[in-house]
C-alpha cells in the first residue's frame, strides 16, 4: 500500500534533495470544500504525484532533465474543514517557502487553495501580477455559504494583489462575475478569442502582466478532450500545446515566482488527466525555475563521427 503522505514528485527514482537544498518546492494541498458539481479534487495531489513517477526525465523541448533541478515535495498538511481557517493554514505553509526565495509549485485541491497561496506571494512581492488559466471567472463574492469557496477564488485574489490579474480561457461566468470584471477593469482573453492557428493572443496576455507573476492553472481551463478529469469541465478550452506555449512565453518574458495546479479529479479507469497535469507541472519547472540550468542538466547531440550514427552525450 502506498503511503499517501510520503509521495514525492517523480517517484522513488527521483531524488528529493530536502528543503534546504531545494530550488523547487512542491506543496500538495489535499483540500476540497463545497464543490459546485463534480467531486474528487481533494485526492488530486495524490494522483498527480503518482502519475509523475511515469514521466521521462527529459523535457522534450528544452532537453532539460527536470529531476536535476533540486526538487523537494512537502508533506501534505492537515487542513481545516473551515474554509477561512484552511486558507490561513495554506498561507502559512506557502509563506514559509516563498520567503526563502525558492520556487513554489502547489498542487490542489480545489481552486480555493489559490487564495492563501497568492496572499503569501503578494506579501513578499510588492507588484505581483496573476495569470489565471481557467474556464470560469471565479469572481463571486460568496458561494455555498463562504467567501473562501472555489467560485470566489479570483475575487479574493483581485482584492489582494497590486499588479494586474489576467484571466485566460474564460468561457463560463455569471452576471455577478461580469459586473466585477467591468468594475475592476479586468480584460479576460476569452476562449472564443483564442485562434488555434495564431498565437498573437499570447502577446496580449504577456503585455498586460507586470514583471513578477504568479500563475494559477485551474485544469478546467484546458479543453475536456485534454483533461476530462476535473469537477466542472467546460467545452472549448485551451489545447495542451496552447497551454505549453503560454507557459513558455511567460517563463521567457516574465519572472514567475510561484504557480499552482488545481481541480484535478480522478476518473476511474483512465490516467490521462493526472498524467497531463503532471506533464504540465514539469513544463512549469523547466520554464520558470530551470531557465538558468548548469551545463550538466541538458543533453545535446554529439557531432557525427562517421556519417552513419549519432551519439548523445551529457554536456
Provide the sign of the torsion angle of the four alpha carbons 46, 51, 53, 57, taken in this order: negative
* Unique residue bearing C-alpha cell 514528485: 9
pLDDT-based confidence at residue 1 (cuts at 50, 70, 90): very low
Other C-beta atoms closer than 10 Å to the C-beta of 141 total: 12
User: Would you kindly state where each structural domain of the chain is located, as residue ranges?
Assistant: 4-314
CB 114, CB 153: distance < 8 Å: yes
Write out the three cell numbers for 5: 503522505
Question: For 265-279, what is each residue's pLDDT tens digit?
Answer: 999 999 999 999 999
Question: For 114-171, what is each residue's pLDDT tens digit?
Answer: 999 999 999 999 999 999 999 999 999 988 888 898 889 999 999 999 999 999 999 9
pLDDT-based confidence at residue 190 (cuts at 50, 70, 90): very high
Q: Which residues contact 31 (CB under 8 A, 6 or more apart)?
A: 41, 42, 79, 86, 90, 108, 109, 110, 112, 113
Intra-chain end-to-end CA distance of the chain, in Å: 40
Name beta bridge partners: 119.
none
* Fold observed for domain 4-314: 3.40.800
pLDDT, residue 310, reads 41
Write out the three cell numbers for 199: 498565437
pTM given for the model: 0.91
Question: For 301-310, what is each residue's pLDDT tens digit?
Answer: 444 444 444 4
Q: What is the mean pLDDT of the chain?
A: 90
Amino acid at each position: 500500500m502506498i503511503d499517501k503522505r510520503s509521495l514525492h514528485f517523480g517517484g522513488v527514482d527521483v531524488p528529493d534533495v530536502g528543503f534546504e537544498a531545494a530550488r523547487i518546492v512542491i506543496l500538495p494541498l489535499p483540500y476540497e470544500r463545497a464543490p459546485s458539481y463534480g467531486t474528487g479534487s481533494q485526492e488530486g495531489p495524490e494522483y498527480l504525484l503518482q502519475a509523475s513517477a511515469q514521466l521521462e526525465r527529459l523535457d522534450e523541448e528544452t532537453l532539460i532533465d527536470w529531476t536535476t533541478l533540486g526538487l523537494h515535495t512537502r508533506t501534505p498538511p492537515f487542513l481545516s474543514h473551515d474554509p477561512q481557517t484552511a486558507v490561513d493554514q495554506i498561507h502559512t505553509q506557502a509563506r514559509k517557502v516563498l520567503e526563502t526565495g525558492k520556487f513554489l509549485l502547489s498542487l490542489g485541491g480545489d481552486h480555493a487553495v489559490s487564495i492563501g497561496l497568492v496572499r503569501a506571494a503578494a506579501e513578499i512581492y510588492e507588484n505581483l501580477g496573476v495569470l489565471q488559466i481557467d474556464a470560469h471567472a471565479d469572481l463571486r463574492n460568496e458561494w455555498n455559504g463562504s467567501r473562501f469557496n472555489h467560485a470566489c477564488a479570483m475575487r479574493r485574489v483581485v482584492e489582494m494583489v497590486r499588479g494586474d490579474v489576467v484571466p485566460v480561457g474564460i468561457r463560463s461566468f455569471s452576471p455577478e462575475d461580469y459586473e466585477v470584471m467591468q468594475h475592476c477593469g479586468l480584460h479576460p482573453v476569452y476562449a472564443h478569442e483564442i485562434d488555434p492557428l495564431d498565437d498573437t493572443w499570447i502577446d496580449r496576455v504577456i503585455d498586460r502582466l507586470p514583471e513578477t507573476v504568479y500563475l494559477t492553472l485551474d485544469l478546467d481551463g484546458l479543453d475536456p478532450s485534454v483533461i476530462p478529469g476535473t469537477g466542472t469541465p467546460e467545452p472549448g478550452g485551451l489545447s495542451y500545446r496552447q497551454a505549453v506555449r503560454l507557459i513558455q512565453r511567460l517563463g521567457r518574458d516574465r519572472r514567475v515566482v510561484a504557480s499552482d495546479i488545481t481541480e484535478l479529479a480522478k476518473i476511474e479507469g483512465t490516467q490521462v488527466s493526472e498524467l497531463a497535469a503532471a506533464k504540465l507541472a514539469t513544463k512549469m519547472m523547466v520554464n520558470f525555475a530551470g531557465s538558468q540550468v548548469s551545463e550538466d542538466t541538458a543533453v545535446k547531440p554529439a557531432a557525427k563521427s562517421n556519417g552513419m550514427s549519432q551519439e548523445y552525450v551529457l554536456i
